[in-house]
Amino acid sequence: MVKEETFESIINEFRELSQKGIEEQVLGEGYPLDMHLHPGTTQPYDASGPPYQSPFVLTRPVIQTYAAVIGDDNPLYTDPEYAKNGPYGCLIAPGTALIIARNAMWHGARRKGGWPIANFHSGTAWEFFDVLREGTGFQTSSVGKEIIEKPGAHGNLFFFITDVNYWDMRGDLLGKCYGTLIMVPREEMGTSRTMSVERLGEKMMYERDASKYNQEQIEEILDLIEKGKPRGKETLYWEDVKEGDKLPTFVVPPWTDQDWTVTGFIRNGPPRGYHFEAGYNMRRYLRHEMEGGGGNSYTHPISRWPWSGADEHGDALMAAYRGQALPFDWGGQRSQIPQALMSNWMGDEGFIRRLQMALRRPFYYADIGLYNGEIVKKFKEVQKGEAGEGAEPGERTYYAVGIKYEGRNQTDQVFVQGTSTVYLPSREGGKVVLPVPHVAKPPAVPYETFYRDWY
């Protein structure tokens, strides 16, 4: 006799199989974490890892397009002539561009039809050891570190913590990322990842209407945007800053469906974007449904056709499948933006060493992002390395500041908050010397350490 599946039994199965996946992965017996696994079937890239070779290379168009996608017009990322005369002699990309080589998210155990769970990008914490120069290629590895279960407003939530390492093609470590994916069980989904179209709108996570702006508000925001230009070549010395100093506001103008569409570049690479992918997915879903697969497609609320789940973000009608009243952003895109607050303030000679963020609520259609930060700690930090492949030898003292920041929307709601450590040039110690010394395999930072006040 086949045991009847219930919502509760499926959630228990998800918990058990996901935990087993982490345990088997540690023992070398499980499947690799394959969220955005590169190169997969793409040739001629080496798929025998880990580490896995990424098909992405930081060519000039890739860097410039990436900067446009996250709304950062820093000339170090966009102007080759300016960058050639800068501290690195070439165009560079923000450290967060590492996400195009591999997204630091794991969705847990897999199941035909999916699980009755809505997932959201909940946060990232980055460690950077060097800048990303034009021409850099990548190798990556991804490891699931832990699953944390916490009570929430609609039942227990699962936090999936992933540890990703990024090397260049010489084997030099460029950075690490600790990704957090929050899994929200949704009873109205029943026993699969989708739900009946008749149940759309039940148990919405937030109630919101799209904001409208008068001319005075628009002019005020445009003025903030104009004032938020990068410091550039005007050197900011460590000796000239103090605890309590405020960073100039960085502004993201009203978010639109076009902003969601361009995240296809971050997720899939040029020229493939999500709306082109949706057509491919629809045909695949239709074939799947005709074959009696079930549970893997969505029904569009108006046309009643099988539809792409990717449109949960950008389609006002489909967003309710994720419990949202409006189209909302992809958390991976939002997790790239705060670096501009720091880089605009610190100037060309500064270096972001650590950058942590927690995504608190969705960023909705027509929302404005106002990012502000404050120096809360000023200190010196000694970094030690070792000789050998993937390591950087030596011992150096860096002149650092700890920054606490947050992003608020036009309704004064916090949608992201986090911390950062920035190295600045010093009159006493000289310029910031890169790469930062490190061992070949830096230990992973525990969740309880990086998820708040990580300086």
Q: Read off the CATH number of the domain in which 104 is found.
A: 3.10.129.10
Q: Is residue 254 part of a domain?
A: yes
* Helix/strand number for the chain, H first, E second: 12, 14
Given a cut of 80, is residue 26 above it in pLDDT?
A: no
Mean pLDDT of the chain: 85
How many residues does this entry show for the chain?
Answer: 455
Among 57-61, 299-303, 364-368, 423-427, the minimum mean pLDDT is found in: 299-303
- Write out the residue range of the structural domain in which residue 442 sits: 7-450
Domain count, the chain: 1
Q: Is residue 259 part of a domain?
A: yes
Read off the pLDDT band of 427 (50, 70, 90): very high
Read off the pLDDT band of 249 (50, 70, 90): very high
Global pTM value:
0.89
Average pLDDT score over residue span 237-245: 98
Tokens of 386: 């070792």
Q: Is residue 162 part of a domain?
A: yes
CA dihedral 273, 278, 284, 285 (to 10 degrees): 150
Rounded distance between C-alpha atoms, residue 265 and residue 63, angstroms: 11
Average pLDDT score over residue span 398-414: 96
Q: Is residue 455 part of a domain?
A: no
pLDDT per residue as tens digits for the range 307-359? 777 788 888 888 888 889 899 988 888 888 999 999 999 999 999 999 999 99
Given a cut of 80, is residue 396 above it in pLDDT?
A: yes
Which phi and psi angles does 187 have, rounded to 5°? -60, -35
Read off the pLDDT band of 106 (50, 70, 90): confident
359 φψ region: left (φ > 0), alpha (ψ -120 to 50), beta (else): beta
Task: Return all residues near 129 (Cβ < 8 A) that are at least 6 apart.
Answer: 173, 174, 175, 392, 434, 435, 436, 438
Q: Is residue 2 part of a domain?
A: no
Q: Is residue 140 part of a domain?
A: yes
**pLDDT: which is higher, 294 or 215:** 215
Q: Is residue 63 part of a domain?
A: yes
